[in-house]
Structure formats: C-alpha cells, structure tokens
Amino acid sequence: MIRMIGSNVLVTETEKEDTTSGGIILTEAITKGSKPALVLAVGPHVTDIKKGDRIFIKWPEALPVDVEGRGGAIIDMEHIKAVLD
C-alpha cells in the first residue's frame, strides 16, 4: 500500500487511444511520444484529479516506482497537463 502526500499523484501507463470517450480526436501531434496515464492514488492537496482518471503527464518529470509488482510513477500535480473525459 502506498499513500501519496502533498500534491503528488501515483499513476500507471495506459494504452494510447486516438479518441476520448467524449469524442475528441487526439491527433498524432498531440499523442506523439505521449502516453496517457491512469491515476491510482492522489495526495491530500490534489483537487482536480481523482483515482481512476485518465490523464496526460510530462513523463520525463515522473519518478518511476514499483507498486505491488506493477510499474508506476509518482508525479507532482504541476506536471499533469490534461484529464481525458
């Protein structure tokens, strides 16, 4: 079990998709080199993101971690760029 502190968010990489559930088409320019992340846990100072959200982050800023045998990353809220609806 891991508990996030401050404005940190625990994520895992998800499959790249070309369209959001709301119908927004993600062009190659947006998705090239970028992969969505699934939120696994959020710190107490995180208000706009919740567990289960799919988000885009700046992956180079993420701290790789291993949580219960599953690869993940910890990222500060400031490096989250968008929530996929």
Tens digits of per-residue pLDDT, 14-55?
865 566 666 666 555 455 556 789 999 999 999 999 999 999
pTM here is 0.77
More confident residue, 66 or 28: 66
Residues paired with residue 56 on neighbouring β-strands, in sequence order: 36, 82
Higher pLDDT, 55 or 68: 55
Which residues are 38's β-sheet partners?
A: 12, 54
Only one residue has tokens 């929530």, namely 83
Averaged pLDDT, 59-75? 90
What is the structure's pLDDT at 78? 93
Burial class (CB in 10 A: 0-12, 13-18, 19+), 82: middle
Q: Are the C-beta atoms of 6 and 44 separated by less than 8 Å?
A: yes
